[in-house]
Amino acid sequence: TDFITKYCPPFYLCLSTDFISILQSSVTHRISYESWLASRGLMLSPFHVRWQTTMFNRLFAYCARINPQVLYLWFSSGLVFGVVAMLGSVVLLIKTLQQTFAQMTTDNPRIGGQQALQVVVPGVNLPTSQLAYFFIALLLSGVIHELGHAVAALREQVRVNGFGMFVFVVYPGAFVDLFTTHLNLISPAQQLRIFCAGVWHNFVLCVAALAFLFLLPVFLFPMYSTGGGALITEVVQGSAADGPRGLSVGDIVTGLEDCPVRGVEDWTSCLSHLSHTPQTGYCVPVASLQPSWAHGRAYKRLDGTMDCCSNNSLTDLCFSYIKPQVSLFCVLQYACMPVRRMVTGTRVCRTDADCASHSHATSVCVTPSLENQTRFFRVTHPPNTHMLFVGYPPHLQYAVSLTNFVPRFGFLHLDLPVFLETFCKYVVSLSGALAVVNSVPCFALDGQWMLNALLEATLVTVVTDRQKRELIGFFLLLAGSALLAANVALGLWMVTAR
């Protein structure tokens, strides 16, 4: 006689299944064991634990009586959103399926655009360091989802037997237990308001988290400043940014060569720009060009580029430049020179003409002679001297973690804004995903009850036979279930293929 509405992604269960089986198989302890579980609202089985309580019923009833007219408008808006979301979720799943097939037909499954929906597998495409964010945001999204069902049900005079949470395999979940008899007595429109309330609340939570994320600089303004650079919060040990003259936690990066860095977005765009543009040069006075020919003559690498430093020095770098001369022919010269001394205090250039217009002394534009895809650039992080980077620019992006928020006071923690940003992003992603998935007309999801109530409300005058309406709903649910199952199956294949 009870109707249970829930969202159910799976969770890891730490309690030994052997211990549970022993208790359940023992005649002596079975009755007392089951009585103890029932008194506490617990239900245990292999890979699954469930807890139900009535302690929140008064809270739900209070929320349902706050302002009847406002709540009517609120849940009626949820009804409209739920119907639109049901159609939109089908379109989104079809589009995602097409993108997955497009990636499957390529030689490399990594090739293809970013999918709107992706299957998340902890430890595979979800970093283990962010599991806490994932599970807390997922549980919060589930609780808000069920809160919507409970308040909407009480407003429509449907009894709520209880609220609960469960853990299945590796994911948490939540549910509300509704009295089915009351649910069957109300109109299809009232049922729709109840069934759509879950996805409606997930959507509202998604928008609220997105707004909080957007306004985070305003909320943290008294404690943290933004726009003055990207703050280093972590440096990967042994990476290109590590070392005595590298980057350190607490450094503020303000520039990459002539590309200003005001935040993390600028850092990413500057690295991308440096990766896809030719190597920049540096204006050096001709008088200071004293190449050390002891390194030997320039030689060609396997990729066709030239090198002139044969001793694998960590302080010298091969530079190329056009030697100033009276001859009509321009001769490209190579010299192995101390890199830090050559580029300290110099400005970037593309040609010798860039140097002539900004220097009274005769200067030439010297360019590091590097392998293809490799770049040399200076990282500005005052008051320290420049960090000199030689390598593939994306490697530097993965070597450090940054944030836009710089503490105004020394006692403030560097990771607080990072925690808030990351958590909000997970809430936006997971709450939005729950709204989409639960809107799909699929068996055992909210979409099943939403579709059935919608058909009862719209087709009752067109298809008068109830069995025919149920048959139409069955085939629609079958198609929606197949669409969702195909997305999940192919999504898992794509995750393992990566």
Q: Say how far apart CA 217 and CA 226 lie, in whole Å.
A: 7
Q: How many CB atoms lie within 10 A of CB 72?
A: 13
268: confidence class by pLDDT, cuts 50, 70, 90: very high
Tell me the pLDDT tens digit for each residue of 178-229: 999 999 999 999 999 999 999 999 999 999 999 999 999 999 999 999 999 9
> What distance, in Å, lies between the first and last C-alpha atoms of the chain?
46
Place of tokens 């990413």: 268
> In terms of DSSP H, where are the helices of 40-187?
57-64, 68-104, 131-155, 180-185
Question: Of all helices (H) and strands (E), which one includes residue 465?
Answer: none
Tell me the pLDDT tens digit for each residue of 479-492: 999 999 999 999 88
C-alpha 374, offset from chain centre: 29
Mean pLDDT of 426-433: 95
From its phi and psi, is residue 369 left (phi > 0), alpha (psi between -120 and 50) or beta? beta
Question: What single-letter amino acid sits at 492?
Answer: L
Assessment of whether the complete model's pTM goes beyond 0.85: no
b/e burial code for range 178-195 (CB count within 10 A of at least 16 → b): bbeebbeebebebbbbbb
Mean pLDDT of 442-471: 94
Q: Which DSSP state fits 126?
A: B
Catalytic residue, candidates 146, 156, 257, 456: 146
CB 458 within 8 A of CB 229: no
Q: Where are the domains of the chain?
A: 41-215+421-497, 227-277+377-404, 280-369
Return all residues near 361 (Cβ < 8 A) that are at least 6 apart.
Answer: 285, 286, 287
CATH architecture of residue range(s) 227-277+377-404: Roll (2.30)
What is the per-residue pLDDT for 55? 93
- Is 146 in the active site? yes
